[in-house]
Amino acid sequence: MVIDDIMWWFGLIVLGFGIGIITGLFGIGGGFLLTPALRIFFDISYPVAIGSSLLQITATSMLSVYNHWRQQNLDLKLGSVTIIGSLAGTECGVRLLHAISMKGTIEFAGYSTEFMDLLINTCFFLLMACVAGFILREVYQSNKTGIDEPDTGCCKLLHQCSLPPFMCFEQAAIPRLSFWVPTGLSFIVGCLTGLLGIGGGFVSLPLMIYLLGVPTRIAVGTSTLQVLLASAYGMFRHHQAGHVNVLLVIFMFFGSLAGVNAGVRLAKRVNARDTRKYFAGVLIGGLLLIVYDVVRKLNG
């Protein structure tokens, strides 16, 4: 039993190391892997897994933001604008999760399952499948054209938004953009943060690249800042509900200390196109994790 306990805690350190690499390399919190991993491999309830994931993401994002700031990969003005939308969205997500947690057990396809588990797993699967599919399609087209940074029609459309006030984001190479565009997008990211226990980075990173037109390197650093702000607020709200296990996070954070630094160093060596491709690969890994959990429950 003692050996099992040691391996359980050691597993948390290894998990933290992997999440740290993902945070440093892609500018995302890694909650889309961390939350289901805690539920599936460590048998932690989704509310506690979500709250604890947000604390872990907050800690690792602080390290990542500092490292990206030192390397000038961060647009502080753009990151600051996202605060309003992120916090409002996170509050909505936390309240929605509370309402879902009251639903209890339901019958689905002849099996009895927690409604929360079913809904959250479905949300994770659909989000990761859509984002990974879109990125892989774009990277394939970029390989044929030889263009390193994408230029989408949606990006051009949003840049033409005529709703004042307007702002200029020099570091992100955006000369003029309506204040409401990044605020609205960050609200969506915030909702996902409060509901799913993710930093929102796996959504905010492609949104910044494909919808705002932020260069990949700057998007990685700026996304980390947004992840930090939304996760910190989400963690605070979940802590109020008693959904944060601090000891759990301490062990994961030990691994993250090394993982974040390794991820940021890797980010300097990987070009923009490969960064997006590897990011899609990580999302596919998350999809496989969800599929594994569903198959395990059906066979169990």
- pLDDT over 50 (residue 1): no
Name which of 1-5, 51-55, 271-275 the model is least confident about.
1-5
**Count: domains in the chain:** 1
Instruction: Compute how many other C-beta atoms are within 10 angstroms of the C-beta atom of residue 121.
Output: 22
Quote the pLDDT of residue 2.
43
Higher pLDDT, 22 or 150: 22
Higher pLDDT, 94 or 28: 94
For 118-138, write each residue's pLDDT tens digit: 788 888 888 888 888 888 887
Round the CA-based radius of gyration of the chain to a whole number and report it: 19
Quote the pLDDT of residue 180.
93
Q: What pTM was computed for the model?
A: 0.71
- pLDDT over 50 (residue 299): yes
Orientation of helix 216-240 relative to helix 272-299, angle to 10°: 40
Domain span holding position 287: 2-299
Name which of 1-5, 47-51, 98-102, 273-277 the model is least confident about.
1-5
- Overall average pLDDT of the 128-152 stretch: 77
For 63-103, write each residue's pLDDT tens digit: 778 888 888 888 888 888 888 888 888 889 888 888 887 87
Q: Cα–Cα–Cα angle for 101, 103, 108, nearest 5°? A: 115
- pLDDT over 70 (residue 266): yes
- pLDDT over 80 (residue 174): yes
Instruction: Compute how many other C-beta atoms are within 10 angstroms of the C-beta atom of residue 165.
Output: 7
Name which of 46-55, 80-89, 95-104, 199-208 the model is least confident about.
199-208
Q: Across all residues in the chain, what is the average pLDDT?
A: 82
